[in-house]
Amino acid sequence: MPVATVGDAATASIDVTAETIDEYAALTGDENPIHLDEAYASETMFGGRIAHGMLGAGVVSAALASLPGDIVYLDQDCSFEAPVRPGDTIEARASVEEEIGGDRIRVETVASVDGEPVIEGEATVLSVPHDA
């Protein structure tokens, strides 16, 4: 299996529902009421429930995993730009920008809702052949 090289890109997406947020909270133990309690969240600066930021980052991880080769995370910088709400679809894109050396590559990552970035950043990953 080939490895990821400059110019390669991959995408992933997820439809976010109230149930998705509830399941993520149960899985991680992050029960912040801004994610789980509509009445509470409606009184915050967001005006309603929002998804966990790391739920969106997980979609970025799924896009990375779709690149050629076996992908192993080494580092991820991300900036949370906007909230994600129930009913939104998060679309993530991972674009290989640079071969750093050896098996390491730098990947630009972005997650968007309706074309507007909600998470921006970059990752450093290993990209190795599957049979290595």
Domain of residue 38, CATH code: 3.10.129.10
Q: What is the pLDDT of residues 83-118, one digit of tens each?
A: 999 999 999 999 999 999 889 999 999 999 999 999
Q: 1 lies in a domain?
A: no
CA atoms of 132 and 122, how far apart (whole Å): 25
Answer whether residue 62 shows pLDDT above 60: yes
- The pLDDT of 74-81, averaged and rounded, is 97
| Residue 2 buriedness (CB in 10 A; 0-12 / 13-18 / 19+) | exposed
Q: Shortest CA distance to 98 belongs to which of 118, 75, 124? A: 124
Region of 102 (left: φ > 0; alpha: ψ -120 to 50; beta: rest) is left
Q: 45 lies in a domain?
A: yes
Chain-wide mean pLDDT for the chain?
96
66 lies in which domain range? 9-128
CA atoms within 13 A on the CB side of 9: 9
Q: 113 lies in a domain?
A: yes
| pTM > 0.95 | no
Q: 3 lies in a domain?
A: no
Tally of domains within the chain: 1
- The pLDDT of 62-82, averaged and rounded, is 96
Q: 4 lies in a domain?
A: no
Question: Dihedral through CA 22, CA 92, CA 108, CA 118, nearest 10?
Answer: -60
